Amino acid sequence: MSEQTAATRHQRKTRLGVVTSDKMTKTVTVTLTRRFAHATYGKQVTRTKGVKARDEHGAKIGDTVRIMETRPLAKTVRWRVVEIVERAK
């Protein structure tokens, strides 16, 4: 039973973002940036969103990290840091 549900479960969303705040304990704020073409005019539009992620890897401000969706860990934390892709210079 559990093997069947695990096999049919959907993949979780993963995103790449930049850490903008690490002042909380075990939590970082990650800025996600997406670019898309405007529906009518076709011009490239940039939108950013800040999300909070649980950090067990010790990410610092400016680091590029990969985050993954997870169950609610706190009131506003719905993501977790999977890996640090690139350290800040």
Within-domain flag for 5: no
- 36 forms beta bridges with 45
Indicate if the pLDDT at residue 6 is higher than 80.
no
List the CATH number of the domain containing 74.
2.40.50.140
Within-domain flag for 7: no
Q: How confident is the model at residue 5 (pLDDT cuts 50, 70, 90)?
A: low
Let me know how many helices (H) and strands (E) the chain has, helices first.
1, 5
- For the stretch 43-75, pLDDT in tens is 999 999 999 999 999 999 999 999 999 999 999
Q: Is 7 helix (H, G, I), strand (E, B) or coil?
A: helix
Indicate if the pLDDT at residue 39 is higher than 70.
yes
Confirm if 27 and 54 have CB atoms less than 8 A apart. yes
Q: Which has the closest alpha carbon to 30: 83, 8, 72, 4?
A: 83
Q: How many domains does the chain have?
A: 1
Within-domain flag for 65: yes
Q: Taking the model in full, what pTM does it have?
A: 0.83
Indicate if the pLDDT at residue 27 is higher than 80.
yes
Q: How many CB atoms lie within 10 A of CB 65?
A: 23
What number is the average pLDDT over the span 29-55?
98
